[in-house]
């Protein structure tokens, strides 16, 4: 069974440029998560989807970040414009159902560097 797929693995951009990350969850997983992981920190939830509905986006900086999960399968996270402080690893995870009872499976992440 294929795991969570993320692309690109690495991205280097200049500040004020836009950037997008893509995630394909494990087949059949209804819940999808985007996390931000700063250097030396644990992951922090940005947004959680249940199928195509964003059920928790309270930690998503909506002035510059946006996300979508069309058709309830793969998802895209966008930053526009990027700032220096956005340099981090962006992790995608998926689970069969919502709630901590279900194991979250993580992708390898996208490492973003903003110059």
Partner 1 sequence: AQSVTQPDIHITVSEGASLELRCNYSYGATPYLFWYVQSPGQGLQLLLKYFSGDTLVQGIKGFEAEFKRSQSSFNLRKPSVHWSDAAEYFCAVGDDKIIFGKGTRLHILP
Contact residues: partner 1, CB under 8 A: 3-4, 40-45, 48, 56, 91, 93, 98-101, 103-109
Give the nearer residue to partner 1 in terms of CB position, either 41 or 80. 41
Task: Give the shortest CB-95-to-partner 1 separation in angstroms.
Answer: 10
DSSP assignment string, 45-113: EEEEEETTEEEE-TTS-TTTEEEE-GGGS-EEEEESS--GGG-EEEEEEEESSSSTTSPPEE---EEEE
Give the residue with the Cβ less far from partner 1, 81 or 87: 87
Q: Please say which residue, 56 or 74, places its beta carbon nearer to partner 1.
A: 56
């Amino acid at each position: 069974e294929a795991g969570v797929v993320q692309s690109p693995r690495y991205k280097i951009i200049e500040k004020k440029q836009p950037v997008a990350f893509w995630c394909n969850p494990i087949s059949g997983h209804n819940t999808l998560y985007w996390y931000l992981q700063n250097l030396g920190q644990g992951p922090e939830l940005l947004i959680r989807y249940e199928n195509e509905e964003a059920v928790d986006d309270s930690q998503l900086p909506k002035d510059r970040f946006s996300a979508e999960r069309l058709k309830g399968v793969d998802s895209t996270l966008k930053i526009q414009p990027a700032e220096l402080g956005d340099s981090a690893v962006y992790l995608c995870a998926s689970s069969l159902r919502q709630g901590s009872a279900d194991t979250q499976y993580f992708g390898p992440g996208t490492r973003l560097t903003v110059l």
